Amino acid sequence: MIKTNKKGSLVVISGPSGCGKDTVCNKLLDIKDNVWISISCTSRKPREGEIEGKHYYFLSKDDFEKKIKEDYFLEYACYNDCYYGTPKEHIKKHLDNGEDVILIIEVQGALKIKHLIKEALFIFILPPSMKELKERLINRGTETEDKILKRFETAYKEINELNKYNYVVVNDDINETALKIASILKAEKCRVDRIEEIYLDNIEEKMHETLMNKKFINKDIEI
Protein backbone atom coordinates (compact mmCIF):
# COMPACT_ATOMS: atom_id res chain seq x y z
CA MET A 1 0.00 0.00 0.00
CA ILE A 2 1.26 3.47 -0.85
CA LYS A 3 0.37 6.48 1.27
CA THR A 4 0.62 9.85 -0.48
CA ASN A 5 0.42 13.40 0.80
CA LYS A 6 -3.14 14.63 0.18
CA LYS A 7 -2.34 18.23 1.07
CA GLY A 8 -3.06 20.79 -1.64
CA SER A 9 -0.32 22.56 -3.60
CA LEU A 10 0.57 26.22 -3.18
CA VAL A 11 0.62 27.52 -6.76
CA VAL A 12 2.12 30.90 -7.65
CA ILE A 13 1.00 32.35 -10.99
CA SER A 14 2.72 35.41 -12.41
CA GLY A 15 2.94 37.23 -15.70
CA PRO A 16 3.08 40.74 -17.13
CA SER A 17 0.16 43.07 -16.56
CA GLY A 18 -2.31 42.45 -19.40
CA CYS A 19 -1.34 38.82 -20.04
CA GLY A 20 -4.71 37.59 -18.70
CA LYS A 21 -3.73 35.98 -15.38
CA ASP A 22 -7.02 36.67 -13.62
CA THR A 23 -9.18 35.59 -16.55
CA VAL A 24 -7.25 32.33 -16.93
CA CYS A 25 -7.47 31.54 -13.22
CA ASN A 26 -11.21 32.21 -13.13
CA LYS A 27 -11.62 29.83 -16.09
CA LEU A 28 -9.55 27.28 -14.15
CA LEU A 29 -12.21 27.33 -11.41
CA ASP A 30 -14.79 26.26 -14.00
CA ILE A 31 -12.86 23.19 -15.15
CA LYS A 32 -11.11 21.91 -12.02
CA ASP A 33 -12.35 21.01 -8.56
CA ASN A 34 -10.51 21.67 -5.30
CA VAL A 35 -8.96 24.95 -6.38
CA TRP A 36 -9.09 28.12 -4.28
CA ILE A 37 -7.82 31.51 -5.43
CA SER A 38 -6.39 33.71 -2.71
CA ILE A 39 -7.60 37.31 -2.89
CA SER A 40 -4.79 39.83 -2.66
CA CYS A 41 -4.82 43.25 -1.04
CA THR A 42 -3.77 46.34 -2.95
CA SER A 43 -3.39 50.04 -2.32
CA ARG A 44 -4.34 50.98 -5.88
CA LYS A 45 -7.75 52.34 -6.77
CA PRO A 46 -10.36 49.89 -8.11
CA ARG A 47 -10.76 49.73 -11.88
CA GLU A 48 -14.21 49.89 -13.41
CA GLY A 49 -16.10 46.67 -12.68
CA GLU A 50 -13.79 45.47 -9.90
CA ILE A 51 -15.55 44.35 -6.73
CA GLU A 52 -14.23 44.57 -3.16
CA GLY A 53 -13.55 41.09 -1.80
CA LYS A 54 -13.86 39.43 -5.21
CA HIS A 55 -11.03 40.90 -7.25
CA TYR A 56 -9.02 42.54 -4.46
CA TYR A 57 -9.27 43.92 -0.98
CA PHE A 58 -8.73 47.61 -1.60
CA LEU A 59 -6.83 49.41 1.15
CA SER A 60 -5.48 52.90 1.57
CA LYS A 61 -1.69 53.20 1.55
CA ASP A 62 -1.72 53.95 5.30
CA ASP A 63 -3.87 50.89 6.07
CA PHE A 64 -1.65 48.68 3.93
CA GLU A 65 1.49 49.87 5.71
CA LYS A 66 -0.20 49.28 9.06
CA LYS A 67 -0.92 45.66 8.09
CA ILE A 68 2.72 45.25 7.03
CA LYS A 69 3.79 46.16 10.56
CA GLU A 70 1.23 43.69 11.95
CA ASP A 71 2.82 40.86 9.90
CA TYR A 72 -0.51 40.33 8.13
CA PHE A 73 0.97 39.37 4.74
CA LEU A 74 2.64 36.20 3.54
CA GLU A 75 4.40 38.45 1.04
CA TYR A 76 4.00 41.98 -0.27
CA ALA A 77 5.66 44.20 -2.84
CA CYS A 78 5.41 47.63 -4.40
CA TYR A 79 4.54 47.40 -8.09
CA ASN A 80 4.06 50.47 -10.30
CA ASP A 81 3.89 52.68 -7.18
CA CYS A 82 1.15 50.59 -5.54
CA TYR A 83 1.32 47.96 -2.81
CA TYR A 84 0.15 44.39 -3.44
CA GLY A 85 0.14 41.68 -0.78
CA THR A 86 -1.09 38.17 0.03
CA PRO A 87 -2.95 37.76 3.36
CA LYS A 88 -1.78 34.77 5.41
CA GLU A 89 -5.24 33.96 6.73
CA HIS A 90 -7.16 31.00 5.24
CA ILE A 91 -4.27 29.70 3.08
CA LYS A 92 -3.21 26.90 5.46
CA LYS A 93 -6.83 25.82 6.01
CA HIS A 94 -7.44 25.36 2.28
CA LEU A 95 -4.14 23.52 1.75
CA ASP A 96 -4.89 21.14 4.63
CA ASN A 97 -8.31 20.45 3.08
CA GLY A 98 -6.58 19.18 -0.07
CA GLU A 99 -7.30 22.26 -2.18
CA ASP A 100 -4.73 23.79 -4.52
CA VAL A 101 -4.28 27.40 -3.46
CA ILE A 102 -3.59 29.84 -6.30
CA LEU A 103 -1.66 33.04 -5.60
CA ILE A 104 -1.86 35.48 -8.51
CA ILE A 105 1.10 37.73 -7.75
CA GLU A 106 3.82 39.68 -9.54
CA VAL A 107 7.42 38.54 -9.79
CA GLN A 108 8.74 40.41 -6.73
CA GLY A 109 6.26 38.67 -4.47
CA ALA A 110 6.74 35.32 -6.23
CA LEU A 111 10.46 35.34 -5.53
CA LYS A 112 9.77 36.03 -1.86
CA ILE A 113 7.42 33.01 -1.75
CA LYS A 114 10.10 30.91 -3.49
CA HIS A 115 12.52 31.77 -0.69
CA LEU A 116 9.97 31.06 2.06
CA ILE A 117 8.18 27.97 0.73
CA LYS A 118 10.45 25.60 -1.18
CA GLU A 119 7.67 23.20 -2.21
CA ALA A 120 5.52 25.87 -3.89
CA LEU A 121 4.82 25.51 -7.62
CA PHE A 122 5.57 28.45 -9.93
CA ILE A 123 3.84 29.07 -13.27
CA PHE A 124 4.54 32.04 -15.54
CA ILE A 125 1.94 33.16 -18.09
CA LEU A 126 3.22 34.83 -21.24
CA PRO A 127 1.27 36.86 -23.81
CA PRO A 128 1.39 35.57 -27.42
CA SER A 129 3.69 38.51 -28.27
CA MET A 130 4.79 41.84 -26.85
CA LYS A 131 2.78 43.56 -29.58
CA GLU A 132 -0.35 41.73 -28.38
CA LEU A 133 0.44 42.68 -24.79
CA LYS A 134 0.75 46.37 -25.67
CA GLU A 135 -2.58 46.28 -27.51
CA ARG A 136 -4.29 44.63 -24.52
CA LEU A 137 -2.98 47.32 -22.16
CA ILE A 138 -4.15 50.08 -24.49
CA ASN A 139 -7.57 48.47 -25.09
CA ARG A 140 -8.27 48.20 -21.35
CA GLY A 141 -8.62 51.98 -21.36
CA THR A 142 -8.04 52.18 -17.61
CA GLU A 143 -4.67 53.92 -17.44
CA THR A 144 -2.76 56.89 -18.81
CA GLU A 145 -0.21 56.54 -21.60
CA ASP A 146 2.64 57.04 -19.11
CA LYS A 147 1.38 54.21 -16.88
CA ILE A 148 0.91 51.90 -19.86
CA LEU A 149 4.50 52.60 -20.92
CA LYS A 150 5.72 51.89 -17.40
CA ARG A 151 3.81 48.57 -17.27
CA PHE A 152 5.22 47.63 -20.67
CA GLU A 153 8.78 48.33 -19.52
CA THR A 154 8.15 46.32 -16.34
CA ALA A 155 6.93 43.40 -18.47
CA TYR A 156 10.36 43.05 -20.11
CA LYS A 157 12.04 42.91 -16.68
CA GLU A 158 9.56 40.30 -15.44
CA ILE A 159 10.00 38.06 -18.47
CA ASN A 160 13.73 38.00 -17.74
CA GLU A 161 12.88 36.13 -14.51
CA LEU A 162 11.34 33.16 -16.36
CA ASN A 163 14.13 30.83 -15.28
CA LYS A 164 12.97 31.18 -11.66
CA TYR A 165 9.66 29.43 -12.50
CA ASN A 166 8.81 25.73 -12.95
CA TYR A 167 6.48 26.13 -15.95
CA VAL A 168 5.67 28.69 -18.62
CA VAL A 169 2.35 28.82 -20.51
CA VAL A 170 1.61 31.11 -23.46
CA ASN A 171 -1.88 32.57 -23.17
CA ASP A 172 -3.07 32.70 -26.77
CA ASP A 173 -6.42 31.07 -25.91
CA ILE A 174 -8.07 31.36 -22.48
CA ASN A 175 -9.66 27.88 -22.48
CA GLU A 176 -6.53 26.12 -23.71
CA THR A 177 -4.34 27.97 -21.22
CA ALA A 178 -6.61 27.01 -18.32
CA LEU A 179 -6.59 23.37 -19.47
CA LYS A 180 -2.79 23.36 -19.59
CA ILE A 181 -2.57 24.69 -16.03
CA ALA A 182 -5.13 22.11 -14.87
CA SER A 183 -2.94 19.39 -16.44
CA ILE A 184 0.13 20.74 -14.64
CA LEU A 185 -1.69 20.63 -11.30
CA LYS A 186 -2.86 17.07 -12.00
CA ALA A 187 0.65 15.94 -12.89
CA GLU A 188 2.07 17.50 -9.73
CA LYS A 189 -0.07 15.13 -7.65
CA CYS A 190 1.96 12.24 -9.13
CA ARG A 191 5.36 13.55 -8.03
CA VAL A 192 7.52 10.99 -6.24
CA ASP A 193 8.23 13.39 -3.38
CA ARG A 194 4.53 13.33 -2.45
CA ILE A 195 4.87 9.69 -1.39
CA GLU A 196 5.03 9.56 2.39
CA GLU A 197 5.18 5.82 3.09
CA ILE A 198 5.21 2.53 1.21
CA TYR A 199 3.96 -0.57 3.01
CA LEU A 200 5.40 -3.86 1.69
CA ASP A 201 4.11 -6.36 4.25
CA ASN A 202 5.56 -9.90 3.91
CA ILE A 203 6.80 -9.08 0.42
CA GLU A 204 9.46 -11.82 0.39
CA GLU A 205 6.93 -14.46 1.42
CA LYS A 206 4.46 -13.32 -1.23
CA MET A 207 7.10 -13.37 -3.96
CA HIS A 208 8.08 -16.91 -2.99
CA GLU A 209 4.46 -18.06 -3.11
CA THR A 210 4.04 -16.55 -6.56
CA LEU A 211 7.17 -18.19 -7.94
CA MET A 212 6.20 -21.59 -6.55
CA ASN A 213 2.66 -21.42 -7.84
CA LYS A 214 2.21 -24.21 -10.42
CA LYS A 215 0.38 -21.81 -12.72
CA PHE A 216 3.61 -19.92 -13.30
CA ILE A 217 6.06 -22.83 -13.40
CA ASN A 218 6.33 -25.22 -16.32
CA LYS A 219 8.57 -28.12 -15.26
CA ASP A 220 9.05 -29.21 -18.87
CA ILE A 221 10.91 -26.03 -19.82
CA GLU A 222 14.66 -26.56 -19.89
CA ILE A 223 16.94 -23.66 -18.96
Please spell the DSSP secondary structure of the chain, one letter per residue: -EEE--PPPEEEEE--TTS-HHHHHHHHHHH-SSEEEPPPEESSPPPTT--BTTTBEE--HHHHHHHHHTT-EEEEEEETTEEEEEE-TTHHHHHHTTPEEEEE--HHHHHHHHHH-TT-EEEEEE-S-HHHHHHHHHHH--S-HHHHHHHHHHHHHHHTTGGGSSEEEE-SSHHHHHHHHHHHHHHHTT-GGGEEEE--TTHHHHHHHHHH-GGG--TT---
Domain residue limits, the chain: 2-38+99-210, 39-89
pLDDT of residue 143: 73
Q: Is residue 52 predicted with pLDDT exceeding 60? A: yes
Q: Mean pLDDT, to the nearest integer, of 85-89?
A: 90
Per-residue pLDDT band at 17 (split at 50, 70, 90) = confident
Q: Is residue 2 predicted with pLDDT exceeding 80? A: no
Q: Is residue 215 predicted with pLDDT exceeding 60? A: no
Please spell the DSSP secondary structure of 103-124, one letter per residue: EE--HHHHHHHHHH-TT-EEEE
Q: Mean pLDDT, to the nearest integer, of 169-196?
A: 91
> Which amino acid does the sequence have at 10?
L
pTM: 0.78
Same fold, 2-38+99-210 and 39-89: no
**Bigger pLDDT: 130 vs 103:** 103
CATH code for the part of the protein at 39-89: 3.30.63.10
Q: Does domain 2-38+99-210 have CATH number 3.40.50.300?
A: yes
For residue range 18-42, what is the model confidence (pLDDT) as tens digits? Answer: 899 999 999 999 999 999 999 999 9
Lowest mean pLDDT across 80-94, 106-120, 152-166, 200-214:
200-214
